[in-house]
Chain A
């Protein structure tokens, strides 16, 4: 079993929908949680990062961390076709740069 699990999708939604992307993890030592977006043939791009439990909002994006359940979420409001990409969750234990990634969820937003 992988340390970080993520539904691979694909997840197909109509434009304007609210999207919910999720990851579960098994290592309770993870403290920092990130969401990356990766377009085809590009490197991942950092969207959000959160330290420990709680919510964080940035524009149309909201990241939630529930450490008691070992569950993190990314919500995208008013989804756009340009949001079509693979979304990767990532986590790390300390302040170093060794990230553990989920497998990624492919999102398709249809006009």
Chain B
């Protein structure tokens, strides 16, 4: 199976612009989560989408938004970019792991990330 893919891999924007990042999950995975990774704050959860609906949301301002399409592909958008938005944005897809016939918890698989630089 192909892994999680993210496009673009690198992006340079200026303050005030907006950006859209794309994530294609592993085939068959219906949940897609987004994370921001910075040297200072580490990995922080942005939001999760499942079956085109936002299921969880982290503590980020409304400038950060996302959506999921019927094929489970997801996009996240950041409007009015700030210097502090420079980060690695990671997407993870997941599917429940079955064990002994019982559905267990989801296991997340991460993509390589999109490196966003805001100048």
Could you list which residues of chain A lie within 8 angstroms of chain B, going by C-beta atoms? 32, 36, 41-46, 49, 51, 88, 90, 95-104
CA distance A88 to B88 in the complex (A): 15
Indicate whether B48 reaches chain A with its CB closer than 8 angstroms.
yes
The residue of chain B having its C-beta at the shortest distance from the C-beta of A98 within the complex is B56
A103 contacts which chain B residues (CB < 8 A)? Answer: 42
Q: How many angstroms from the CA of A70 to the CA of B19 in the assembled complex? A: 39
Q: Are B48 and A43 in contact (CB under 8 A)?
A: no
CA distance A51 to B99 in the complex (A): 13
Q: Does B109 contact A (CB under 8 A)?
A: yes
Whether B43 pairs with A97 at a CB distance below 8 angstroms is no
Are A51 and B110 closer than 8 Å at their CB atoms?
A: no
Given A43-B90, A51-B105, A97 and B56 touching (CB < 8 A)? yes
B113 and A99 form a contact (CB under 8 A): no
In this complex, how many residues of chain B approach chain A with their Cβ under 8 Å: the count is 24
Q: Is B21 at the interface (CB under 8 A from chain A)? A: no
Give a binary string over B9-49; 1 marks a CB under 8 Å from any A CB, 0 the rest: 00000000000000000000001010100000011110010
C-alpha gap A97/B107 in the complex (Å):
8
- Enumerate B71-119 residues with CB–CB distance to A below 8 Å: 90, 92, 94, 105-113
Complex: chain B residue closest to A6, CB-CB: B42
The distance in angstroms between the C-alpha atoms of A101 and B92, with both chains bound, is: 14
